[in-house]
Amino acid sequence: MSLTHTLGFPRIGARRELKFALERYWRGESDAAELRAVGRSLRRTHWQAQREAGLDLVAVGDFAWYDQVLQTLDWLGGLPTRFADAGADADPFVRLFACARGNAAQPAMELTKWFDTNYHYLVPELSAELRFDGEAVELLDWVCEAQALGLHAKPVLIGPLTLLRLAKVRGDSGALAQPLDWLPRLLPAYRRVLRALGELGVDWVQLDEPALALDLDADWLAAYREAYAALAGHGPRLLLASYFGGIGEHAALLRELPIDGVHLDLVRAPGQLDGFLADWPQPRVLSAGIIDGRNIWRADLETLLAHLSPLHAALGERLWLAPSCSLLHVPVDLAHENTLPAALQGALAFAVQKLGELTTLARGLRDGREAVSAALLEASAGRAALAGLPNRRHPLVEQRLAELDADAGERALPFAERAQRQQAVLGLPLLPTTTIGSFPQTAALRAARRDYREQRIGHLEYLERMRAEIREVITRQEALGLDVLVHGEPERNDMVEYFGELLGGVATSANGWVQSYGSRCVKPPLIYGDVYRREAMTVGWSRYAQSLSERPVKGMLTGPVTLWKWSFCRDDRDSATVMTQLALALREEVAELEAAGIRIVQIDEPAFREGLPLRAAARADWLAAAVLAFRIAAAGAGPATQIHTHMCYSEFNEILPAIAALDADVITIETARSDMELLEAFHDFHYPNAIGPGVYDIHSPRVPGSAAMLRLLRRAVELIPAERLWVNPDCGLKTRDWPEVDAALAQMVEAARTLRTELASVAA
Ligand SMILES: Nc1nc2c(c(=O)[nH]1)N[C@@H](CNc1ccc(C(=O)N[C@@H](CCC(=O)N[C@@H](CCC(=O)N[C@@H](CCC(=O)O)C(=O)O)C(=O)O)C(=O)O)cc1)CN2
Ligand code: MET
Ligand SMILES: [Zn+2]
């Protein structure tokens, strides 16, 4: 019988219980005991879901108060030493949340994207004082909780090499110069935890090593040998879990490691199986990740069963069945959806449904196809109904794509000439000041949206409420003296979901929440059909905002790459086609904004870097398609209309050629936290167009002074000619409060003015 398990389950709760409990605790409205009780109840609910679905093992340790990397560090005694004093004798939450969110003395740990997902983890900080002396007491408690419920607990930990691969060395740490140098210090902590788990009767531990699916140098591969040799034989059996890509080229290495099983992502990389099957040593387990943990479509159970049967015949009990990766990246339960078209609802599987798919397959392998034929038929019928939806394929959309000219992505003139025409229209000062788009999303705004959605207020009242907000933010920006204004995005629940609600071929769920970081969640739209623009999406709001001011107000769109990347996407069309369809829809919007008198249009692409394939070999093709999609959208504008783009999450040094190829007139980027480091790369690359390096870190509630911003700006003018520099925050301001925002923007405008005066006096 094939054993079934999941690498992890969403922790936020079907009704976002963890989010609300965390935020209550942070606001001081509840105590640690209450937060712990919510956590305990969620773990139990999630284990019950696994048991009820019929899984053989339950995942323990996939729960985390804020983030799984932070959690693993805590258990191993690897929290950054700069937080050693934070709440030393108080509740352990004080230190944990200080690491995650910062405190009066220390800024938070760095937050960055988990591989190619929209989930963010906290970056481990390696410093000379770090001891890794943890005993994972909390994890052991959770294992006992599960065992007390009569469950077969399989603890899950991030593996040592992935942990180091994601880490950054901080400060001068002497001989420990590279993350790998910490391995000898780290391994005893893992051994201690494994031994303690073994004493609790744990028989299997899953060590997550998604880093194996990246391009790895020989020293990292050698470190896998060293690490796993040191970990084997200290208690439980080890399942090394890879995901997000294939590790076929390392099959020989894995065969040599003294592990007891390996998990493969057979959704992303089905072809890797052969390399393992040939002579996978007895009695090792092969966990087949066959249910997509990154997408929400129902699995083709009939086909999967057919593929699994010979595998099962070959491996017998050594074949385990699992989702491709943790289910963290999909919403919890389809049972909470009630607004989706029936044909779509019937084609979906969220986390709970995916567990059911696994046990159906396991029963099919054990008892034969007939025993599960009803479930197989239901799955096929659900998938067929989706395939038959009228929106699925649109001859008109296909025709528009087919008829795209070779120069569809070309602006009419090169940058230098466009810049002149734009300046003639805009008349901006040197170092123009602007913001990234959103202003604080207050409780009152969210309440207005909810009341409208639930029909407690009518359309006119809603319109008035949003217009009042737009008037308010325009007035504030004029008073602050900003040069290029925004309407503030009050009408948007989210920069992606908003467009998902309006575009044809895209649906949005009612409760399909996925954790993004900490307590913050998103509801990724579902791109299920050919995409088209039904009607103007932003023109009314932008036109209204522009009518209130003489200064230019930027139109604000989310770009094709980001809309694709932050949605769940159909799997029967390639990403290039979907991005191009989105681009055509946005291109129409750009043209209509221009016709409505909007002189600057920003097309946000914060997910551009994240869309990049994990393996270098796959990058060029993807980049070409992504760049073209952006350019097709932007080319909806004439040369006198200025196109801005915005990217945060700044690790794009290696894709600068692609960023330049976007040919946006202005790009705003996140640079405040890294002290303009990224701008050096733009300088070295001779980036040709205008840049707005963020001078204000919007992730922190601290209001930076104008002196700090002036220092960053002075650094910026050393790197980029002032004529091509803009002044702006790092990102949108939707998560901040008005008092901070008002204060910070006033300081920012002051810094820009000071530098303008300085530069003018130098020139004179
Ligand atoms: N899709 C996406 N991915 C992204 C980003 C992004 O902006 N969008 N930015 C980065 C991550 N940053 C993020 C920053 C903030 C939030 C965030 O605040 N999310 C909100 C949900 C946003 C939302 O859809 N809000 C709805 C309301 C949802 C809601 O909670 N409604 C409650 C009422 C809540 C209330 O009144 O406050 C209800 O209906 O009961 C709205 O504003 O209309 C949250 O977790 O709370 C998420 C990600 C990277 N990935
Ligand atoms: C995550 S990038 C956010 C861009 C968007 N225009 C905003 O200001 O919120
Ligand atoms: Zn941003």
- Is 399 a domain residue? no
Distance, CA of 100 to CA of 111 (rounded, Å): 8
Question: Mean pLDDT throughout 512-537?
Answer: 98
Question: Is the Cβ–Cβ distance between 566 and 635 less than 8 Å?
Answer: no
CA distance 295 to 565: 12
Tell me, yes or no, whether 451 and 376 share the same domain: no
β-strand pairing of 120-122 with 514-517: unpaired
- Nearest CA-CA partner of 4 in 241, 254, 375, 356: 356
487 and 613, same domain (yes or no): yes
User: Which pairs with CB-CB distance under 8 Å and at least 24 residues apart come from 547-551?
Assistant: 548/470, 548/471, 548/474, 549/474, 549/478, 549/485, 551/478, 551/482, 551/483, 551/484, 551/485
Average pLDDT, the chain: 96
Residue 505 located in a structural domain: no
In terms of domains, do 352 and 433 share one?
A: no
ipTM: 0.96
pLDDT for the residue numbered 234: 86
User: Which residues form the domain of 698?
Assistant: 425-494+552-763
Question: Does 293 fall in a domain?
Answer: yes
Does residue 653 contact residue 683 with C-beta atoms inside 8 Å?
no
For residue 493 and ligand 1, the question of a CB distance below 6 A is answered with yes
Q: Is the per-residue pLDDT at 677 higher than 90?
A: no
Select from 365, 389, 413 the last residue of a domain: 389
Distance 120 CA to ligand 3 centre (A): 14
Answer whether 440 contacts ligand 2 (Cβ < 6 A): no
Atom 1, ligand 2: residue with shortest CA distance? 606
User: What are the residue numbers of the active site?
Assistant: 699
Strands 600-604 and 568-569: unpaired
Is pLDDT above 90 for 87?
A: no
Q: Same domain for 351 and 441?
A: no
Contact (Cβ atoms closer than 8 angstroms) between residue 352 and residue 323: no
- Same domain flag for 633 and 690: yes
Q: Answer yes or no: do 320 and 430 share one domain.
A: no
pLDDT digits (tens, 9 = 90+) for 487-505: 999 999 999 999 999 999 9
Ligand 1 centre and the CA of 408: distance in Å?
A: 35
Q: Is residue 602 part of a domain?
A: yes
**Number of domains forming the structure of the chain:** 2
- 734 in contact with ligand 2, CB cutoff 6 A: yes
d(CA 413, CA 547): 29
Residue 594 shares a structural domain with residue 726: yes
Report how far residue 305's alpha carbon sits from residue 368's, in angstroms, rounded to the nearest whole number: 9
- Other beta carbons less than 10 A from residue 741's beta carbon: 22
pLDDT score at 703: 86
Whichever domain contains 577, its CATH number is 3.20.20.210
Residue 341 lies in a domain: yes
Which atom belonging to ligand 1 lies closest to the Cα atom of 441? 42
Distance from the CA of 702 to the center of ligand 2, in angstroms?
19
Same domain, 557 and 642: yes
* Same domain? 476 vs 590: yes
Output the DSSP codes for 13-74.
Answer: -TT-HHHHHHHHHHTTSS-HHHHHHHHHHHHHHHHHHHHHHT-SSEEES---SS-HHHHHHH
Full DSSP string of 581-617 = HHHHHHHHHHHHHHHTT--EEEEE-TTHHHHS-SSGG
**Residue nearest to ligand 2 atom 9, measured at CA:** 732
Q: Is the CB of 521 under 6 A from ligand 1?
A: yes
Annotated binding site, which residues?
Answer: 16-19, 113, 118, 436-438, 489, 520-521, 566, 604, 610, 646, 648, 670, 731
Mean pLDDT of 264-289: 95
Give the residue whose CA is nearest to atom 4 of ligand 2. Answer: 732
| pLDDT reported for residue 258 | 96
Identify whether 175 is part of a domain: no
* Ligand 1 nearest-atom number relative to CA 521: 45
Residue from 482, 563, 604 to probe ligand 2 pocket by mutation (most atoms less than 8 Å from CB):
604
DSSP category for residue 220: H
In a domain, 444, yes or no: yes
The answer on 596 and 458 residing in a single domain is yes
Q: For ligand 1, atom 26, name the residue with the nearest CA.
A: 493
Q: How far apart are CA 103 and CA 92, in angstroms?
A: 14
Residue having the nearest C-alpha atom to atom 24 of ligand 1: 493
Question: With bands split at pLDDT 50, 70 and 90, how would you rate the model's confidence at 280?
Answer: very high
- The verdict on the CB of residue 494 being under 6 Å from ligand 1 is yes
Per-residue pLDDT, 189? 98
Binding-site residues for L-homocysteine:
436-438, 489, 604
Determine the distance separating the centroid of ligand 2 and the alpha carbon of 557, expressed in angstroms. 9
Question: What is the best residue among 522, 610, 733 to mutate for testing ligand 1's pocket, by most ligand atoms within 8 Å of CB?
Answer: 522
Domain final residue pick, 331, 362, 389 = 389
Q: Assess contact for 59 and 50: CB atoms under 8 A.
A: yes
* Residue 645 falls inside a structural domain: yes
693 and 576, same domain (yes or no)? yes
Instruction: Spell out which residues have Cβ within 5 A of ligand 3, the ion.
Output: 606, 648, 731
Model pLDDT, residue 762: 85
Q: Does 384 share its domain with 431?
A: no
Q: What is the pLDDT of residue 745?
A: 98
Q: Give the ligand whose atoms come closest to the C-alpha of residue 437.
A: 2
**In testing the pocket of ligand 2, which one of 113, 436, 610 has its CB within 8 Å of the most ligand atoms?**
436
Which pLDDT score, from 0 to 100, does residue 468 have? 98
